A and B are shown apart, each in its own frame.
Chain A
Amino acid sequence: MVDRGRVTVGKRRRRSRKKFIGRTILFLLFVAIGIGIYAAGKSLLGTVSASGSDLIVTEVATFASAAKEKEIPKEFNGMTRKVAYLTFDDGPSKYSNDMMDLLKQHDIKATYFMLGDNMNTYPDAVKRMVEEGHYPGLHSMTHDFNKLYKSGGSGNFIKEFQEAQGIVENLTGFKPTLIRAPYGSAPQIGESFRKDIADAGFKMWDWTLDSLDWKFIGQPNRILEQIKGTLTADVEVILLHDRQQTLEALPSIIEYIQSKGYEFEVYDPNAHFVCNFHHDKRL
């Protein structure tokens, strides 16, 4: 009897314990459900509750800049560098390839100022120019004085140079910014005209030495004489043209200039210097 009683008590105790555990679990589950529903509601609404006071936020910083492009010294440590820029106008032409062969032999890079129509006629010359390190500058589409300078403003001028620029870019992938105005910039290009050129993103070179090669047809020696008589400055930007007489004179021109201690350079947009008749620093 006693054993059966102990067993009965034991069973009753186990049953009570189970009930207690079960009820506790249920209670906790209801609490968890409540919390979960609350949190799910917050998540669904997706808002941060503003307690009434402002949240502090920080703005991130920008880079300022004080550096400039460095100027190339003409003189330093008692030395003065003498540099000559060979520049060729009105090309490309049927002489351009021979000219580039000659320049290559002497390891010289030149600066060309080309006409749009000629570029369309000799596109391979333009491509070769860029490939071999010459600078493909611009000289307008038409070289027409009245159209460029007598149309009442800079509109035609800018348009022609932009068109020529596009031709070079399409052919070579390079977008040149250096131009030379047909017949030079003085006196036909005034202050506001020059401002328009600068605003269009161009730089403009005239020259320091005119070889007058264009008028010495069949007389290459006269070109050399002209250069001999006028080669004086430490930096010379020499005006030449893409012509037969110039090609014939070129070997002797190169030899002479080198004999006077000059080094040949090609236009470098990263080392631009002012070389226009008006000394306009914008160009």
Chain B
Amino acid sequence: MASWKKFTAIAALLSVVVGLTGCGAAPTTKIFEAFEKASSAEVNVTAALETLKTLEDKDEKQYINILDQGKTDNRNVQTLIDNTNKALEERKQAIEQVKVHLDDARSQMGELDKAIAKLKDEELKKQAEQAYTAYVKRYDTFKALHEKYGQWLEREQFIYDELKSQNTKLKSITTGISERNEVYRQVEELKTQFNDYTTQFNTLKSDFYKGAGLQVTKTEGNQDDNAEQQEG
């Protein structure tokens, strides 16, 4: 009897220990799911980024038109400037949309340090770590970009207010444009960094999946292959 009791106790203890060890998903699965949840959450980012690009292009053309039409009298361009202000508001909404989606995507990704640490294969661990780091840096870069973009829009607004004003002064417009150009350059730098991290994440993620023996198919039309840059 006593031996039966002992055996039962040992078996119970062993099963709890082994059972707990087996609990939870494999780390590769967890990492894959995190990567793809985050990536899928960004599906609507593409459309918002395209909207931003269209609006930036529109602003560029409208500005030239305003300078041309307003050379002799800025009363000629009041409606044009009002339209441009509306477009600025749309740009603000578009960048906020991007932020909402990226914030969501980041939270979908979660923290993967523990899952990555559980990977036994060192090469696989390194690949996962690099991909995860690239994504985190990309998100951090976007946060800085979002803030700068807001400042950029403020500078744009100032310029158009000056162009519209009855008491407009060229010196004030000049100062405003100089400050706007400074912030614009900073935004472009951050865009470049963001795009670099995007490429890194997409590539490193693929490498990780390959290393883990996963067969994958990429969904279409989710990324521009090259970030288009206008010559300054």
Residues of A within 8 A of B (CB): 22, 25-26, 29-30, 32-33, 35-48, 50, 53-73, 75-81, 263, 268, 270-271
Contact = CB atoms under 8 A, between A and B. Distances in A.
Nearest to B155: A70
A239 B218 CA distance: 61
Interface in B148-194: 159, 163, 168-171, 173-174, 177-182, 184-185, 188, 191, 194
Given A29-B11, A32-B15, A62-B194, A77 B70 contact: yes
B229 A65 contact: yes
B215 A48 contact: no
Contacts of B16: 32
B18 A62 contact: no
A35 to B, nearest CB: 7
B103 to A, nearest CB: 14
Interface in B87-110: 105
A93 B81 CA distance: 49
A77 B224 contact: no
A64 B29 CA distance: 32
A67 to B, nearest CB: 4
B22 A39 contact: yes
Contact of A70 (B39, B181, B209): B181
B63 A70 contact: yes
B217 to A, nearest CB: 4
Q: Identify whether the interface residues of B are mostly helix, strand, loop, or mixed.
A: helix
B29 A48 contact: yes
Interface residues of B, number: 99
A70 B214 contact: no
A29 B188 contact: no
Residue from A25, A43, A60, A79 with most neighbouring chain B CB atoms (10 Å): A60
Contacts of A60: 38-39, 42, 45, 105, 138, 198, 201-202, 222-223
Contacts of B118: 43, 46
B97 to A, nearest CB: 12
Given A44-B120, A62-B227, A73 B173 contact: yes
Contacts of B20: 36
B119 A46 contact: yes
A35 B19 CA distance: 7
B15 A65 contact: no
A43 B22 contact: yes
B24 A76 contact: no
Contacts of A45: 26
Contacts of B207: none
Contacts of B194: 62-63
B85 interface: no
B230 A55 contact: no
Nearest to B191: A63
A50 B39 contact: no
Given A37-B22, A46-B121, A66-B230, A270 B178 contact: yes
Contacts of B39: 57-60
B22 A42 contact: yes
A61 B41 CA distance: 11
Given A35-B22, A72-B174, 6 more contacts: A29-B12, A42-B22, A58-B43, A68-B230, A69-B184, A76-B70
A70 to B, nearest CB: 5
Contacts of A35: 19, 22
A236 to B, nearest CB: 16
18 contacts: A29-B11, A35-B19, A36-B15, A37-B22, A40-B22, A45-B26, A46-B28, A47-B213, A59-B39, A59-B219, A62-B194, A62-B223, A69-B181, A75-B71, A76-B70, A76-B74, A77-B72, A78-B73
B28 A40 contact: no
A58 B35 CA distance: 9
Contacts of A30: 11, 15
Contacts of B40: 58
A271 B38 CA distance: 41
Closest 5 CB pairs of A and B: A39-B22, A36-B18, A66-B57, A36-B19, A81-B170
B3 interface: no
A68 B43 CA distance: 27
Contacts of A40: 18, 21-22
Given A57-B217, A65-B191, A39 B230 contact: no
B168 A76 contact: yes
A210 B215 CA distance: 71
B35 to A, nearest CB: 8
